A and B are shown apart, each in its own frame.
Chain A
Amino acid sequence: MEDEPGTRAVACVPGFVRPGCSSPRPSGACAIEPRESTTGGPPDEVAVQLRGIAKRFPGVIANHDVDIAVRRGTVHAIVGENGAGKSTLMKILYGVQRPDDGTITVGGTERTFHSPSDAIATGIGMVFQHFQLADNLTVLENVVLGAERKHGIGDRARERIAEISDSYSLDIEPDRLVAELGVGARQRVEILKVLYRGAEIIILDEPTAVLVPQEVDELFDNLRELKTEGLAVIFISHKLDEVLAVADEITVMRRGTTVATVTPAEVTARQLAELMVGSELPSPATEESTVTDRVMLSVRDLTLAGGGRRPLLSDISFDIHAGEVLGIAGVEGNGQAELVETIMGMRRPTSGTIALGGDDITEWPTRQRREAGIGFIPEDRQRHALLLDAPLWENRILGHQTREPNVNGPFIDRRAARKDTQRIIEEYDVRTPGIDVLAAALSGGNQQKLIVGREMSGDPVLLVAAHPTRGVDVGAQAAIWDIIRAARRGGLAVLLISADLDELIGLSDTIQVILRGRLVGVCDPATVTPQDLGSSMTGAGAAA
Chain B
Amino acid sequence: MRFDPRRVALTLAAPVLALVAAVAIASLVLAAAGDPVIEVWRTILQPPKPRNVVNIINSASVLYLSGLAVAIGFRMNLFNIGVDGQYRLAAFVAAVVAAQGWLPGVLNIVLTIVVAMLVGAMWAGVAAILKVTRGVSEVISTIMLNAIATALVAYLLRKASVQVAGSNNIGTAPIPEDSRMPGIALIPGAPNEVYGFVVVAIAAGIAYSVLLSRTTFGFNLRATGRSESAAVASGIDVKRMVVIAMLISGGVAGLVGMPLLLGSAYSYGLTFQSGLGFAGIAVALLGRNNPVGIAIGALLFSYLNEQSNPLQILVGVSDDIVKIVQGIVVLTVVIAYEVVRRYGVAQEQRKVARELANQRRRDSEEVSAA
Interface residues of B in 339-370 (CB under 8 A from A): 345-346, 348-353, 355-357, 359
In the complex, the answer to whether B345 meets A438 with C-beta atoms within 8 Å is: yes
- The segment out of B61-69, B102-110, B212-220, B263-271 that lies at the interface is B212-220
When A61-B353, A441-B349 are in contact, do A344 and B230 touch as well, CB less than 8 Å?
no
Residues of chain A within 8 A (CB-CB) of B349 are 58-59, 440-441
In the complex, the answer to whether B230 meets A398 with C-beta atoms within 8 Å is: yes
* B251 → chain A closest CB, angstroms: 18
Q: Does B229 contact A (CB under 8 A)?
A: yes
The interface centre, meaning the residue of B1, B219, B220, B350 with most chain A CB atoms within 10 A of its CB, is B219
Question: Of A62, A367, A371, A386, which contacts B237 at CB under 8 A?
Answer: A367
In the complex, the answer to whether A369 meets B235 with C-beta atoms within 8 Å is: yes
In the complex, the answer to whether A397 meets B219 with C-beta atoms within 8 Å is: yes
When A59-B349, A387-B223, A440-B349 are in contact, do A367 and B236 touch as well, CB less than 8 Å?
yes
In the complex, the answer to whether B227 meets A383 with C-beta atoms within 8 Å is: yes
In the complex, the answer to whether A438 meets B348 with C-beta atoms within 8 Å is: yes
In the complex, the answer to whether A410 meets B216 with C-beta atoms within 8 Å is: yes
In the complex, the answer to whether B356 meets A384 with C-beta atoms within 8 Å is: no
Q: Which residue of B lies closest to A386 (CB)?
A: B230
Interface size class of B (residues with CB under 8 A): 20 to 34
Rounded to whole angstroms, the CA-CA distance of A388 and B345 in the bound complex is: 11
Interface residues of A in 376-417 (CB under 8 A from B): 376, 378, 380, 383-390, 394, 397-402, 407, 410-412, 414
When A431-B359, A438-B345 are in contact, do A58 and B236 touch as well, CB less than 8 Å?
no
When A388-B227, A438-B348 are in contact, do A431 and B356 touch as well, CB less than 8 Å?
yes
The interface centre, meaning the residue of B230, B237, B357 with most chain A CB atoms within 10 A of its CB, is B230
* B78 → chain A closest CB, angstroms: 17
* A12 → chain B closest CB, angstroms: 34
Q: Does A436 contact B (CB under 8 A)?
A: yes
* A94 → chain B closest CB, angstroms: 22
* B155 → chain A closest CB, angstroms: 42
In the complex, the answer to whether B352 meets A437 with C-beta atoms within 8 Å is: yes
Q: Does B158 contact A (CB under 8 A)?
A: no
Question: Of A378, A402, A442, which contacts B233 at CB under 8 A?
Answer: A378
Q: Does B226 contact A (CB under 8 A)?
A: yes
The interface centre, meaning the residue of B220, B234, B350, B359 with most chain A CB atoms within 10 A of its CB, is B234
Interface string of A199-213 (1 = CB under 8 A from B): 000000000000000
Number of A-B contacts (CB under 8 A): 105
Q: Which residue of B lies closest to A402 (CB)?
A: B216
Rounded to whole angstroms, the CA-CA distance of A441 and B223 in the bound complex is: 18
Rounded to whole angstroms, the CA-CA distance of A108 and B144 in the bound complex is: 64
Q: Does B232 contact A (CB under 8 A)?
A: yes
Question: Of A59, A62, A410, which contacts B215 at CB under 8 A?
Answer: A410
Residues of chain B within 8 A (CB-CB) of A387 are 223, 226-227, 230
Q: Which residue of B lies closest to A380 (CB)?
A: B229
Residues of chain A within 8 A (CB-CB) of B227 are 383, 386-388
In the complex, the answer to whether B348 meets A441 with C-beta atoms within 8 Å is: yes
Question: Of A61, A394, A441, which contacts B219 at CB under 8 A?
Answer: A394
Residues of chain B within 8 A (CB-CB) of A282 are none
The interface centre, meaning the residue of B229, B233, B237 with most chain A CB atoms within 10 A of its CB, is B233
The interface centre, meaning the residue of A397, A402, A441 with most chain B CB atoms within 10 A of its CB, is A441
Rounded to whole angstroms, the CA-CA distance of A389 and B223 in the bound complex is: 10
Q: Does A43 contact B (CB under 8 A)?
A: no
Rounded to whole angstroms, the CA-CA distance of A436 and B234 in the bound complex is: 21
Rounded to whole angstroms, the CA-CA distance of A407 and B217 in the bound complex is: 11
Interface residues of A in 87-116 (CB under 8 A from B): none
Rounded to whole angstroms, the CA-CA distance of A387 and B237 in the bound complex is: 16
Q: Which residue of B lies closest to A397 (CB)?
A: B219
Q: Which residue of B lies closest to A442 (CB)?
A: B352
Residues of chain B within 8 A (CB-CB) of A383 are 227, 229-230
Question: Of A58, A59, A369, A389, which contacts B226 at CB under 8 A?
Answer: A389
When A431-B356, A433-B351 are in contact, do A384 and B233 touch as well, CB less than 8 Å?
yes
Q: Does A291 contact B (CB under 8 A)?
A: no
Can you list 30 pairs linking A and B with CB atoms under 8 Å apart? A58-B353, A346-B232, A365-B235, A366-B233, A369-B235, A370-B234, A370-B235, A383-B227, A383-B229, A385-B230, A387-B230, A389-B226, A398-B234, A400-B234, A401-B236, A407-B216, A410-B215, A410-B216, A411-B215, A412-B214, A431-B359, A432-B352, A432-B356, A433-B351, A433-B352, A433-B356, A437-B352, A438-B348, A440-B345, A441-B349
**A-B interface, 8 closest residue pairs, ranked by CB to CB distance from nearest:** A367-B235, A59-B349, A58-B349, A399-B234, A433-B355, A366-B235, A384-B233, A441-B352
Q: List B residues at the A interface (Cβ < 8 Å).
A: 1, 214-220, 222-223, 226-227, 229-230, 232-237, 345-346, 348-353, 355-357, 359
